[in-house]
A and B are shown apart, each in its own frame.
Chain A
Amino acid sequence: MDYLLKNGRLMDPATGTDEVGDILLQRGKVEALGADLQPMGAEVVDVGNLLVVPGLIDMHVHLREPGREDKETIASGTRAAAIGGFTSLVCKANTGLIMDEPSVVGFVFSRAFRQGLVNVFPVGAVTKGLLGQGLTGFGSLALAGVVALSDDGSCVSDAQMMRSALEYAASVGLLVVSHAEDMALTGHGSVTEGYTSTVLGLEGIPVESETTMVARDCLLAEQTGGRLHIAHASTAGSLHAVKSAQERRVDVSCETAPHYFSLTEEATWDYDTSAKMNPPLRSEEDRRMVVSALREGTVSIIASDHAPHTLEEKDISFQEAAFGIIGLETTLPLVITNLVEAGHLTMMEALAKITCNPARRLELSGKGSLQEGCDADITVIDPSAEVVVGEFLSKGRNSPFIGEKLHGRAEYVFVGGKMVVTEGRLVDERAFSGH
């Protein structure tokens, strides 16, 4: 089925285009853009007053399959992505069975092909079993189709290992994504060290646990000429280290997650385990620095760090509860409400961080733009629709945003020209519910 989207506000951060017009999706590609396009047999969808943007890309998602299907599956995670407006997601290697071998990557691709609702781009592990002891076969993983390498969930603690990872990855053209955390400084901590950890009586995680590793990895990228991406930056110090490296023309990019510009450590003051994540929520000063780094461009990408957990892993004491929150279904409204409506970013600037910027950094061809010839991955957004957070297609319920009133919803989502979301609902619930 081909589609003609009529009278939408076409916004393409890749080109800066912002005009009212039509867009024709044919044979899975963007066929044409312009005024008064003819359907030529395509189904016409009136998208007047809605934003038509490149399909959103989430470059930091934990799909859990294979191995932890009790937390999330490729089927449930991609449905959550679609309803959240994402047409592509990048899934991390810390699945139950670690993605450190081409065969596991192949499994994820085949599952995604049969049961996935959106495009799935796997990340390969940097070290075997994420144990930090020996490098995985980067070349073989690249041939299997991984778009980046990361031990995310764990830090590559050994500096020599990280250095050679950056060197080796550069030779096969892959980006290395750093989960920057000094495990010794983190200890058994579960909230940011300072007033919060003292008053809650919990062991604290100092901001330096993140900051020192970000600084180390920037220096190693500078030395090796490797391509580095900093995941989930949350501290003023990390952003300072990245900015200074970028000024020295080190090839480093940086992402943050919606909770780091939306919440502070105060959300943990009543021991709410759904506000426990790693890195932990920080001070108001850090939150402001994240916002200003988003504005300046030091942070070019926003990613959810979608980390679903079971109830049993969250409904326990704060220190024992698992780190992580779900985010695929709240990222778009949080970006619109807390960055665009709050006046920190224009809609175009905000969209760039979840469309063309991750597409370029990951070198995903045909993604992240509305230009003719690009893949027909399209998200149609009603930026003023009110959403009350509470219903999820993800298997996880671990969100600190439940009950919040936000603005912005994906009304229509097209993946490769196929309509998967219409009027804010999945097109065919049944097709993806059973497997």
Chain B
Amino acid sequence: MSLKSKDLLGMQHLTFEEINSVITSAKSFMEIATRPIKKVPVLRGKTVANLFFEPSTRTRISFELAARRLSADVINIPALISSAASGETLTDLAKTIEAMTVDFIVVRHSMAGAPHQLARQIKSSVINAGDGSHEHPTQALVDLYTTKEKKGYIEGLRVAIIGDILHSRSAKSNIWGLKTMGADVVLIGPRTLIPPGLERLGVDISFSMEEGLEGVDVIILSRVEMTEENRALLPSLREYSRFYCLTEERLASAKKDVLVMHSGSMNRGVEISPQVADGAYSVIIEQVTNGVAVNMAVLYLLAGGKK
């Protein structure tokens, strides 16, 4: 088993078989977390660099743990200013990293496409850990893995993605991944936060929770914030939560055995009520545990899939 490309840049171009490989490998890596010594020698002698141009705790730690459990050496490079601001071109950056003979580069960047531009210029494997509003493939793989674990299958499930779809990279990755795996996708949110052109991807769109959640098997929430870019798109968080907060009442429209996931850090009371977040349908904490195993699987498969 392996992935076709040297990099994992997005879900857009991953095949059904590749996604299944990640899910299968992740399942075997889950077991390692239960051992007293949580380490296998799969990536011994390899170096993983976490290159984060944007602050992130969860994703960085998850990758760091994944790499360490595979016996790789890990370096964290917090590069909090963009290339343009530092006067460094992407080519300069690529050459610098190449010169350090790093095997894997996990990149988080506020600018969409930056990991792709970097990956073109270097031999190391690049893993996109979130680029602007573009993609966050490992988060989608975690959500797919969790769905498969809980439901036993993905094909034919109806999945609702709710929130700021326009700016959510996880939502974009989830749309590609879910469509590839044969799920039905409905996007729910205020019209201004649903990006244009999605009809070409074969998804349903709803502006109402009651209508959109009807018969849904899985719910994936994304974080909604009052950012500067949302100034002209969203009146207020209060207005948002009044119509789109996932409450127990609204959850009743979904299937009885619905699964509730969140693909980021929660904004309680805005996109999810505390009762739902901590309720019986929620697998939000399990997603975090699964995340380490999925990241291990991705590193393992990019290394060629040989133990």
Among B185-200, those with CB < 8 Å from A are 195-198, 200
Is B112's CB under 8 angstroms from A318's CB? yes
A204–B197 alpha-carbon span in the complex (Å): 11
Which A residues are in CB contact (< 8 Å) with B134?
200-202
Is B89's CB under 8 angstroms from A311's CB? yes
With known contacts A197-B195, A201-B134, A318–B113 Cβ distance under 8 A: yes
- Known A315-B91, A317-B109; 13 more pairs at CB < 8 Å: A199-B12, A201-B112, A201-B169, A201-B172, A271-B113, A271-B116, A311-B89, A316-B83, A317-B90, A318-B112, A319-B111, A319-B112, A320-B83
With known contacts A315-B89, A318-B113, A319-B132, A197–B197 Cβ distance under 8 A: yes
A204–B198 alpha-carbon span in the complex (Å): 14
Stretch at the interface among A82-90, A141-149, A188-196: A188-196
Which A residues are in CB contact (< 8 Å) with B89?
311-312, 315-316
Is A202's CB under 8 angstroms from B132's CB? yes
Q: Would you call A247 an interface residue if the criterion is a C-beta within 8 Å of the partner chain's C-beta atoms? A: no
A271–B132 alpha-carbon span in the complex (Å): 13
Q: Would you call B117 an interface residue if the criterion is a C-beta within 8 Å of the partner chain's C-beta atoms? A: yes
**Residues 167-205 of chain A, each 1 if its beta carbon lies under 8 Å from chain B, else 0:** 000000000000000000000100001111111111110
How near does chain B come to A403, taking the closest CB pair, in angstroms?
15
A320–B135 alpha-carbon span in the complex (Å): 18
Residue from the set A197, A199, A317, A319 with the largest chain B CB neighbour count within 10 Å: A317
Is A200's CB under 8 angstroms from B195's CB? no
Q: Would you call B241 an interface residue if the criterion is a C-beta within 8 Å of the partner chain's C-beta atoms? A: no
A-B contact count (CB 8 A): 80
Q: Which residue of chain A is the closest to B89 with respect to CB atoms?
A: A315
Which A residues are in CB contact (< 8 Å) with B135?
201
Q: Which residue of chain B is the closest to A319 with respect to CB atoms?
A: B111
Q: Would you call B84 an interface residue if the criterion is a C-beta within 8 Å of the partner chain's C-beta atoms? A: yes
Is A317's CB under 8 angstroms from B82's CB? yes
Is B117's CB under 8 angstroms from A317's CB? yes
Q: Would you call A285 an interface residue if the criterion is a C-beta within 8 Å of the partner chain's C-beta atoms? A: no
Among B153-195, those with CB < 8 Å from A are 166, 169, 172, 195
Is B197's CB under 8 angstroms from A196's CB? yes
With known contacts A311-B89, A320-B82, A198–B117 Cβ distance under 8 A: no
Is A312's CB under 8 angstroms from B117's CB? no
A271–B172 alpha-carbon span in the complex (Å): 17
Among B54-99, those with CB < 8 Å from A are 82-84, 87, 89-91
Q: Would you call B114 an interface residue if the criterion is a C-beta within 8 Å of the partner chain's C-beta atoms? A: yes
Q: Would you call A36 an interface residue if the criterion is a C-beta within 8 Å of the partner chain's C-beta atoms? A: no
| 21 cross-chain CB contacts under 8 A | A196-B197, A197-B196, A197-B197, A198-B172, A198-B195, A199-B12, A203-B229, A270-B116, A271-B116, A273-B117, A311-B89, A315-B89, A315-B91, A316-B84, A317-B109, A317-B111, A317-B112, A318-B113, A319-B111, A319-B113, A319-B132
Residues of B within 8 A of A (CB): 12, 82-84, 87, 89-91, 109, 111-114, 116-117, 131-135, 166, 169, 172, 195-198, 200, 229
Chain A interface residue count, Cβ-Cβ cutoff 8 angstroms: 24
Which A residues are in CB contact (< 8 Å) with B117?
271, 273, 317-318
How near does chain A come to B149, taking the closest CB pair, in angstroms?
28
Is A198's CB under 8 angstroms from B196's CB? yes
Is B84's CB under 8 angstroms from A195's CB? no
Q: Which residue of chain A is the closest to B197 with respect to CB atoms?
A: A195
A227–B152 alpha-carbon span in the complex (Å): 69
Cross-interface CB contact of B197 among A198, A318, A319, cutoff 8 Å: A198
Which B residues are in CB contact (< 8 Å) with A319?
111-113, 132
How near does chain A come to B13, taking the closest CB pair, in angstroms?
11
A317–B172 alpha-carbon span in the complex (Å): 19
Cross-interface CB contact of A316 among B12, B90, B172, B200, cutoff 8 Å: B90
Residue from the set A193, A198, A200, A320 with the largest chain B CB neighbour count within 10 Å: A198
Is A199's CB under 8 angstroms from B84's CB? no
Q: Which residue of chain A is the closest to B116 with respect to CB atoms?
A: A271
Q: Which residue of chain A is the closest to B134 with respect to CB atoms?
A: A201
Which A residues are in CB contact (< 8 Å) with B114?
317
Q: Which residue of chain B is the closest to A313 with respect to CB atoms?
A: B84
Which A residues are in CB contact (< 8 Å) with B169?
201
Which A residues are in CB contact (< 8 Å) with B83?
316-317, 320
A48–B112 alpha-carbon span in the complex (Å): 53
Which B residues are in CB contact (< 8 Å) with A204?
196
A197–B165 alpha-carbon span in the complex (Å): 13
How near does chain A come to B15, taking the closest CB pair, in angstroms?
18
Is B112's CB under 8 angstroms from A312's CB? no
**Residues 374-390 of chain A, each 1 if its beta carbon lies under 8 Å from chain B, else 0:** 00000000000000000
Q: Which residue of chain A is the closest to B172 with respect to CB atoms?
A: A201
Is B200's CB under 8 angstroms from A202's CB? no
A312–B131 alpha-carbon span in the complex (Å): 21
Which A residues are in CB contact (< 8 Å) with B131?
201
How near does chain B come to A317, taking the closest CB pair, in angstroms?
3
How near does chain A come to B169, taking the closest CB pair, in angstroms?
6
Which B residues are in CB contact (< 8 Å) with A198?
166, 172, 195-198
Q: Which residue of chain B is the closest to A311 with respect to CB atoms?
A: B89
Which B residues are in CB contact (< 8 Å) with A195?
196-198, 200
A204–B87 alpha-carbon span in the complex (Å): 25
A262–B82 alpha-carbon span in the complex (Å): 33
Which B residues are in CB contact (< 8 Å) with A202?
112-113, 132-134
With known contacts A200-B134, A317-B83, A317-B90, A194–B113 Cβ distance under 8 A: no
Which B residues are in CB contact (< 8 Å) with A203?
133, 229
A179–B162 alpha-carbon span in the complex (Å): 39
A202–B90 alpha-carbon span in the complex (Å): 18
How near does chain B come to A64, taking the closest CB pair, in angstroms?
19
Is A200's CB under 8 angstroms from B113's CB? yes
**Residues 302-338 of chain A, each 1 if its beta carbon lies under 8 Å from chain B, else 0:** 0000000001100111111000000000000000000
